[in-house]
Amino acid sequence: MKKREMKSSSIGLEHEAMLWNIQYTHARCCELRLLWDESQSSRCQSLGGESVGQAHRSPSSVAAPLPWLDAEHQLRGHNIQSMQLIQALMATADDMLWIPYQWPSQQYYLLLRRAIQLCQAFDSFYRACLSGFSQIPSGAEAAETLKFQAWFGLVVATEKILKALLESCFHAESPQTL
């Protein structure tokens, strides 16, 4: 009986740690999105009220109305970490649709582990791509701004998936701040 109680306690702690990790990553995404919105707002004000896309529009960016595609219709800011994050987002969304998630079933843990893999992919993406975004000068090239805009689209997608997981699947709080 003692072994069963210890195992149950260990599983409960592991479950709580995994949920905390997902909540932490969600809060990081929310904070990053707020920082991005603030930087874009101040950038817009420094340009005399024009939107950033209009003020920096060049012939090459006119052909690419979607910020995640360049003029050749290739992914902007394409690197291994962004591709891994996209794959993790897709796999997590797929699993959310077909895995019946009821605590404490095996399927619930499969979805929890998938969410942790998404958090790890986001962390790798952040370290490789976003760690220096706050140092973008206000007069940065349009291509640089569009690259970060595309990357922040991935931040928003991660935030939305984690929020759905936390609230709908895991019945946990989805914190907005760290």
Distance from C-alpha of 178 to C-alpha of 171, rounded to nearest angstrom: 19
Q: Per-residue pLDDT tens for 34-55? A: 988 887 776 666 655 544 444 4
| For residue 14, pLDDT beyond 90 | no
- Average pLDDT over the chain, rounded to an integer: 78
Q: Are 119 and 22 in contact (CB under 8 A)?
A: yes
Neighbours of 100 (CB within 10 A): 8
Distance from C-alpha of 149 to C-alpha of 168, rounded to nearest angstrom: 28
Q: State the pTM of this model.
A: 0.76
Whole-number pLDDT of residue 6: 43
**Token pair for residue 83?**
């591709």
Number of Cα atoms under 13 Å in the Cβ half of residue 96: 19
Among residues of the chain, what percentage have pLDDT more than 70?
64
